[in-house]
Amino acid sequence: MIKGSILAVLCFWILSCAQVPITGRESLHLVPNSDLLRLSLQEYEQVLKKSKLSSDEHAVAMVRRVGLQIARAAEDTLREMGREDQIAGYKWEFNLIEDDKTVNAWVMPGGKAAVYTGILPITKDETGLAVVLGHEVGHALADHGNERMSQALLANFGAMALSTALASRPQVTRDIFMQVYGIGAQVGVLLPFSRLQESEADHMGLILMARAGYDPREAVAFWKRMNEKEGGARPPEFLSTHPAPESRIAAIKGFIPEAMDYYK
């Protein structure tokens, strides 16, 4: 009986695993993407209703131009891997929210994205913005949100399905979703993800921005500027869910040669 239970659990975990594009890592996906996409669209519409969209035509055009170029690079990556079926799930949309105090950007499941004006002084130009959007699209392409949502649902509700959690505990479930995707977070672009996922998004982001025609070497300068903005006030790396600045930059430097093959 015990052996049968263990076998059932192992089968459940194996069937719930998915492979991350580019890196090939196996990750846990307990939530059907159709459920996530439905919730994503609902929450995205709510965010846009509550937010003030930027009227700066130049900045808005830049965000959409860079975002769509990164998105096309992501779709090309999936296509080359023989995963065309996943492309249909992305309905890319990039909006610029006018909020100079919020240094943030995020991409929801299905490609619904927001950039806050507070991050533009740090990105400085299109290439800096490509670092941010490459990173965030990397999270989306890797389905890190599904992985985090799966972990959060297990921690809060056991093996309860997302649809059941929404029906029985709608506010708690939506709060988890907002936390997982960093929506409304004001401290950088990295709040909800683990160090492993952050490093993976850095890696994927460099390749995506390079494929989109942006120099991945500029990522080092961006993260240095981000660190200066944060002022160095952070816990030690082993207590943090995010890589310390020195570790992140060192890792990025290690990923750059691979990304440069795509840039060239």
Answer whether 198's CB lies under 8 Å from 248's CB: yes
- Whole-angstrom Cα distance, residue 45 to residue 143? 21
Please state, in angstroms and rounded to a whole number, the distance separating the CA atoms of residues 58 and 182: 26
Query: Of 119, 105, 115, 131, nearest to 215 (Cα)?
Result: 131
Catalytic-residue membership of 136? yes
What residues contact 149, with CB distance under 8 A and at least 6 apart?
Answer: 31, 36, 162, 176, 177, 180
DSSP state letters, 69-131: HHHHHHHHHHHHTT-HHHHTT---EEEEE--TT---EEE-GGGEEEEEGGGHHHH-SHHHHHH
Strand partners for 19: 26
d(CA 245, CA 232): 8
Q: Give the integer Cα–Cα distance in Å for 207 and 188.
A: 21
Are 91 and 175 a contacting pair, CB within 8 Å? no
Q: Kindly name the residue from 93, 136, 147, 218 that is annotated as catalytic.
A: 136
- The type of residue at 146 is N
List Cα–Cα distances, 79 to 17, 37, 128, 134, 138, in angstroms.
21, 21, 26, 17, 15
Q: Which residues are catalytic?
A: 136
